[in-house]
């Protein structure tokens, strides 16, 4: 399957969640079994030799491929959830969105010190969510953190809080803000 075919399977929703946003809806990729397999195959190929111990999937679209990739890499899967969704003891990180603020949480003890972690989300825009996930994961003292997204919105300027030295890959690039 080509990159163009994958891009053709993304639904764009204008002015969601606020006016001026061209929301890239990856759920249409997930509905197509060939697209889902192709994206998972591409991510696994990028990280198969990185000795990943845990894959952190960001709520909610990051759960879908995050869990698939974790299983294929022989790694554990850790959900990073929105505030108030996890029971038990957790750590929290607050961050800016392109259109507001949000928080993500993870359970205490979900990553062991010295593990190698892959953070996965559906898209990279300003990097606010991914940057918050990195700060959250860093609290567990991992040996290495990688980041992956399905889509990189290349026209979006990165937030000053986005880690410049973070090794980040994306399967698709979309040139919209």
Mean pLDDT, rounded, of the chain: 94
pLDDT-derived band at 177 (thresholds 50, 70, 90) equals: low
More confident residue, 17 or 78: 78
Give pLDDT, residue 168: 97
How many distinct structural domains can be found in the chain?
1
Give pLDDT, residue 99: 62
Backbone torsions φ then ψ of 116, nearest 5 degrees: -100, 130
Could you tell me if residue 15 is inside a domain? no
The token duo for 79 is 């959900």
Could you tell me if residue 32 is inside a domain? no
Q: Looking at residues 123-144, what average pLDDT do you find? A: 94
Q: Tell me, what CATH number does 106's domain have?
A: 3.40.50.2020
* Catalytic residue ranges: 61, 98
Give pLDDT, residue 17: 81
User: What's this model's pTM, rounded to 2 decimal places?
Assistant: 0.94
């Amino acid at each position: 399957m080509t990159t163009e075919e994958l891009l053709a399977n993304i639904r764009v929703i204008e002015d969601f969640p606020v006016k001026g946003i061209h929301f890239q809806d990856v759920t249409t990729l997930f509905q197509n079994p060939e697209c889902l397999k192709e994206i998972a195959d591409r991510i696994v190929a990028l990280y198969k030799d990185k000795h990943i111990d845990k894959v952190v999937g960001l709520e909610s679209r990051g759960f879908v491929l995050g869990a698939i990739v974790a299983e294929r890499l022989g790694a554990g899967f850790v959900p990073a959830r929105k505030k108030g969704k996890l029971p038990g003891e957790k750590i929290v990180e607050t961050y800016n969105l392109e259109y507001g603020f949000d928080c993500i949480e993870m359970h205490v003890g979900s990553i062991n010190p010295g593990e190698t972690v892959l953070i996965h989300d559906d898209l990279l825009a300003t990097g606010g969510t991914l940057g918050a996930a990195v700060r959250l994961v860093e609290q567990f003292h991992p040996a290495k953190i990688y980041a992956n997204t399905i889509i990189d919105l290349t026209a979006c300027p990165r937030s000053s809080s986005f880690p410049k030295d973070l090794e980040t890959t994306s399967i698709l690039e979309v040139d919209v803000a």
